[in-house]
A and B are shown apart, each in its own frame.
Chain A
Amino acid sequence: MSQPILETKVLGKVFGGLTALDKVNLAVEAGKIISVIGPNGAGKTTLFNLIAGVYAPSSGEIYFQGKPLGNAPPHRRAALGVARTFQGVLLFDNMTTMENVMSGQHPRSRYGFLEAALRLPKAHREEETISLKAMRYLNLVGLGMHAQQNALSLPLGQQKILAIARALATEPKLLLLDEPGAGLNALEKQGLGELIRRIRDMGISVILVEHDMDLVMGIAEWVIVLDSGQKIAEGTASQIQKDRRVIAAYLGEEEKVE
């Protein structure tokens, strides 16, 4: 395996007295679709928030492309190439679909207050590139015709896709998707699976937290299972489906009948 895009070493997070994540060691291969699964409260979202920099780890370290992320805040991690979506979608409700995606271009453009206030040519040039790229990402996810609509006027399924487009617009190397399939119908889920594969084909590593096993088993090239804050198994989808510890975590231990 070449250098992993993301590694965690004895990563831990404690909230008050609750250990949300306990000594988790991960190595995520670049250019793959990785799924993190586990029962509710397993620590999946905590793991995401640690990778995205929302929380500082209580112990251990996260390495992105071989370099420790330390206490870098979320916005710096986005600039480094870690993008994410949220369970609660969190679109900018005061913007159009297009503007949401344009916001995603923030770390890939530079011009600031002065250039904006005085409308310097630099601002104009960058703004053109920003809208061009934003439109390209909108078309990529199939929302091009809704560019001028308010983001919240889209149905939930499209809102979630839009959130992915916004994250893609940051031009990430690693994309974290937090339950992208939740609330989507079967057809939308199928489209989502195809979109995630296309994103992978663009050379972006994808980690997704997902409850929908059909979606996970269909697209994930590597599955990591968390339970009560610990990694209990990892492997290919078919390996995981047969793993006794995983079945026990989801369905409970089989009791021995005497």
Chain B
Amino acid sequence: MLERLKRRWTYLAIAAMLLFLVLIPFDWFLGQYTVLMIFIGIHTMVTVGLCLLMGYTGQVSLGQAAFYGLGAYFSAILSKTYHVNPWLAMLMAAIATGAFAYVIGYPFFRLRGNYLAMATLGLGLIVGILFSQLDRFTGGSMGIREIPPLSIGSFVFNTTLKRYFLVWVFCLVTLLLAQNIVRSRTGRALRAIRGSEAAAESVGINAAQFKVKIFVLGAVFASLAGSLYVHNFFYVNPGPFGFLFSVMVVVMAVIGGLASIWGAIFGTAVVHILSDELLIEFGEWDTIVYGLILVVVMIFVPQGLFVGLRETYEHWRLRHVERRAEP
């Protein structure tokens, strides 16, 4: 009974969120934030990959920007320089990035904790440097311009409104897939590895293999996000795919709540809205205020805002129910 009620509330919340997302890009609602929302959608796809890796499996990565960038550059080079169909380019980019993550994953996940963090940090830095130094392919710091848009038949994603919906369909499908994985045998295996690797192995879970697989999945999500980025803005340069973005992904994941899939949207949105919109009021003090907010969140809601809010709500509801039960 309570279970069914809870499920009904969940469906209602999801329906409300979807409606909100559908209405956002219209001018009479929040149209001026459409581009911001496109960024949030794209970056959520990167964040959710890290949530799976860090929040569920307990493995750090400070190099997610590398996969985001690889997706972007593969897509840009294939579709612009080699005139490959953008969808096909996107698919090829995802496969190539996934394969790359797979190959480096095995040696990487022989490392643990701080050493793993260092290795992924190095990966992010090296790949970032390649973007600006391999200028024969990447156009160096000038980047690549006039990347063709995505299209389905004669329907071209040539307006911000159309691209907004494209990005959010991708984003929500990604979240749904991630959510399904988390609530499965695979998800349990991942959480088991985070709980205790020795115990996970003792119940037949091949920890090394699962770590690599989830790393690859996160890389593929990030690669798709990168592809969407270039077909949204038709331009790519090394800037957005550097070390700073890798750190930002960690911040977004942590703020939303590492061990929560829907927290990924939440964290990404909060970070973007804070740094792109609200903190502009503070002028040159914005970085300091931003840092302060992060510190306060980490001290008071270490499990992340989304998880924190959900727990507060459940706590409140429990008390409410108890009070009503009293005669």
Contacts and interface: CB of A to CB of B under 8 A. Distances in A.
A169 B191 CA distance: 17
Contact of B201 (A75, A93, A126, A166): A75
B215 to A, nearest CB: 12
Interface stretch (A28-36, A114-122, A194-202): A114-122
Contacts of B191: 92, 94-95, 99
Interface stretch (A38-46, A79-87, A135-143, A180-188): A79-87
B204 A78 contact: yes
Given A75-B205, A170-B203, A106 B185 contact: yes
Nearest to B55: A94
A95 B187 CA distance: 11
B272 interface: no
Contact of A75 (B177, B180, B187, B204): B204
Contacts of B188: 95, 99, 102-103, 106
B204 A119 contact: no
B213 A106 contact: no
Interface string A171-192: 0000000000000000000000
Interface residues on A, range: 35 or more
Interface in B131-187: 177-178, 180-181, 183-187
A75 B207 contact: yes
B186 A116 contact: yes
A83 B199 CA distance: 10
B206 interface: yes
Contact of A119 (B180, B195, B207, B213): B180
A106 B204 CA distance: 6
A107 B195 contact: no
A73 interface: yes
A50 interface: no
B185 A117 contact: no
Nearest to B213: A113
Interface in A12-41: none
Given A75-B200, A75-B207, A103-B200, 18 more contacts: A74-B202, A75-B204, A78-B202, A86-B198, A90-B199, A90-B202, A93-B195, A94-B191, A94-B194, A99-B191, A103-B192, A106-B189, A111-B185, A116-B185, A117-B178, A117-B181, A167-B202, A170-B204
